[in-house]
A and B are shown apart, each in its own frame.
Chain A
Amino acid sequence: QQQVKQSPQSLIVQKGGISIINCAYENTAFDYFPWYQQFPGKGPALLIAIRPDVSEKKEGRFTISFNKSAKQFSLHIMDSQPGDSATYFCAASLSGYSTLTFGKGTMLLVSP
């Protein structure tokens, strides 16, 4: 049973464009939704995270949009750059019980 579904599996965006990655979750008790960025051969690193008491969070070119009623959240990368080319994972967990459930990942390629 996959509790966090992520799409698309891969994405190609031109430099300067907007990259959008979507995730849907099933467990309504989840209350922490991070996005991780992973470069080839490296471990993932936290990019940005949101809690369900807000509908949007922005950090630089990265924005999370959260729709609690639809049980969906998405990552928007504005002005995408070749250096953003990486695999992105969404995840969800419960506060106080910190095991993360990950989506299957999206491989982003930003073409120059």
Chain B
Amino acid sequence: DGGITQSPKYLFRKEGQNVTLSCEQNLNHDAMYWYRQDPGQGLRLIYYSQIVNDFQKGDIAEGYSVSREKKESFPLTVTSAQKNPTAFYLCASSLPGQLNTEAFFGQGTRLTVV
């Protein structure tokens, strides 16, 4: 089965801790994305990567970091600099440069600060 796997599904973070959210895809997609979802705010882009070893900041990158060492993997680290990290985090992938730029989403990770 092809798809995007996010783990863990639920994550709890203490104040001042860094946490890393995993995202793996076996769709052979070049582009991968991280979105943050808050109630009533829609999906806001954190980071995206269109090719291995390259990534760009999205609209709300402050307090987050990413890496793209492999085509299949795009982990997101929520650092202690992110002051309000409690949210639902969604990873997505797509084939850029095609007429059909459908983005496929994972099932999300819900992060809560305790």
- Is chain A's interface secondary structure helix, strand, loop, or mixed overall? strand
Closest CB in chain B relative to A105 CB, distance in Å: 5
Q: Decide yes or no whether A25 CB sits under 8 A from chain B.
A: no
How big is chain B's contact interface, by range?
20 to 34
Q: Using an 8 Å CB-CB cutoff, how does the interface string of B76-103 with A read, 1 for contact, 0 for none? A: 0000000000000010101111111111
Is A46 in contact with B40, judged by CB distance below 8 angstroms?
A: no
B64 at the interface (CB under 8 A from A): no
Task: Give Cα A99 to B95, complex, Å.
Answer: 11
Q: Is B58 an interface residue (CB 8 A)?
A: yes
Chain A contacts for B101, CB-based, 8 A: 32, 93, 95, 98, 100
Choose, from B14-22, B42-50, B65-73, the stretch at the interface: B42-50
B50 surroundings in chain A (CB, below 8 A): 98
A45-57 contact mask (Cβ, 8 Å, vs B): 1 or 0? 1100100000000
- CB of B43 within 8 A of CB of A102, answer yes
Alpha-carbon gap, A93 to B43, bound state (A)? 14
Expressed in whole angstroms, the Cα–Cα distance for A34 and B94 within the complex equals 14
The 10 A-B residue pairs with the shortest CB-CB distance, nearest first, are: A43-B105, A104-B42, A98-B101, A98-B96, A102-B43, A102-B42, A96-B97, A46-B102, A43-B107, A44-B105
